[in-house]
Amino acid sequence: MRWILLGPPGAGKGTQAALLTKKFNLPHIATGDLLRQAVREQTPLGLEAKSYIDKGELVPDNLVTNLVKDKLSNIDMEKGFILDGFPRNISQAESLDIFLDNNHKPIDAVIYLATEEQTIIQRLSGRRVCQSCEANFHIKNVPPKKEGICDYCGAKLIQRDDDKPQTIKNRIKIYNQKTKDLIEYYNKKNILKQVSGDLESDKVLALLQNFLKTGR
Ligand SMILES: [Zn+2]
């Protein structure tokens, strides 16, 4: 089971990746985690990445790709993995394909969690974070015991700028622009599976398990 999860912010990609990797005991490969780990462990790639992060610049595509390849080389690719947040563009997708083909372990499926803008706004705009200890809450799904106050340290909860409706709309627009080609790329390869990200996470998981079993 070698899967890629695609979907806009708020589609539930991270949640599904976590559920699937737990259920099937597979590595969950998220580029954000890989980057943080490499920087923390001061690996050669981590140090290179840090030089960009320190300057406030984006870590270049090929560096991220190399991090992913590094990780894949160190796991049992026969058993499988879930890629979350990678690839982000065609150039990364092509490098990944070359690498996996050379190892005779191609991607089986690319799961695209197609999600309505309204659902995304509802999910993301409800997020609150503690300004002191950074604990996460959600006004509907994980409400604090006392409104606006952190359960753990009693500090005030705030809404990140990223989670304000207008910013969310922009994030979705940028995501869609950037991902259109990628979806087309995998669709042409006949490995794209679209699932509604509007559904509850247990329903999405059930659909994915069914897809795994029946291929539909
Ligand atoms: Zn707190």
pLDDT at residue 216 greater than cutoff 90: no
Distance 141 CA to ligand 1 centre (A): 17
Q: Give the whole-angstrom CA distance, residue 158 versus residue 150.
A: 10
Tell me the average pLDDT across 171-180: 92
DSSP string, the chain: -EEEEE--TTSSHHHHHHHHHHHHT--EEEHHHHHHHHHHHT-HHHHHHHHHHHTTPPPPHHHHHHHHHHHHHTS-TTT-EEEES---SHHHHHHHHHHHHHTT----EEEEEE--HHHHHHHHHTEEEETTT--EEETTTB--SSTTB-TTT-PBEE--GGGSHHHHHHHHHHHHHHHHHHHHHHHHTT-EEEEETTS-HHHHHHHHHHHHHH--
Confidence of residue 200 (pLDDT cuts 50, 70, 90): very high
Task: Say which CATH class 2-27+75-116+165-214 falls into.
Answer: alpha beta
pLDDT at residue 192 greater than cutoff 90: yes
C-alpha distances (whole Å) from 105 to each of 72, 98, 179 are 10, 10, 24
Question: Domain-by-domain residue ranges, the chain?
Answer: 2-27+75-116+165-214
Residue 127 falls in the annotated catalytic set: yes
Select which of 36, 50, 69, 88 is catalytic: 88
Residue 128 falls in the annotated catalytic set: no
pLDDT, tens only, 104-159:
999 999 999 999 999 999 999 999 999 999 999 999 989 999 999 999 999 999 99
Tell me the average pLDDT across 42-71: 93
pLDDT at residue 215 greater than cutoff 90: no
pLDDT at residue 205 greater than cutoff 90: yes
Q: Give the whole-angstrom CA distance, residue 189 versus residue 90.
A: 13
Select which of 2, 13, 123, 128 is catalytic: 13
Q: Which amino acid, one-letter code, is at 194?
A: Q
Distance 156 CA to ligand 1 centre (A): 7
Distance 142 CA to ligand 1 centre (A): 14
Distance 154 CA to ligand 1 centre (A): 6
Contact 130, 101 (CB under 8 A): no
pLDDT, tens only, 29-44:
999 899 999 999 999 9
Contact 157, 175 (CB under 8 A): no
Residue 2 falls in the annotated catalytic set: no
pLDDT number for residue 58: 87
pLDDT at residue 198 greater than cutoff 90: yes
Select which of 2, 123, 127, 128 is catalytic: 127
Give me the chain's average pLDDT, please. 94
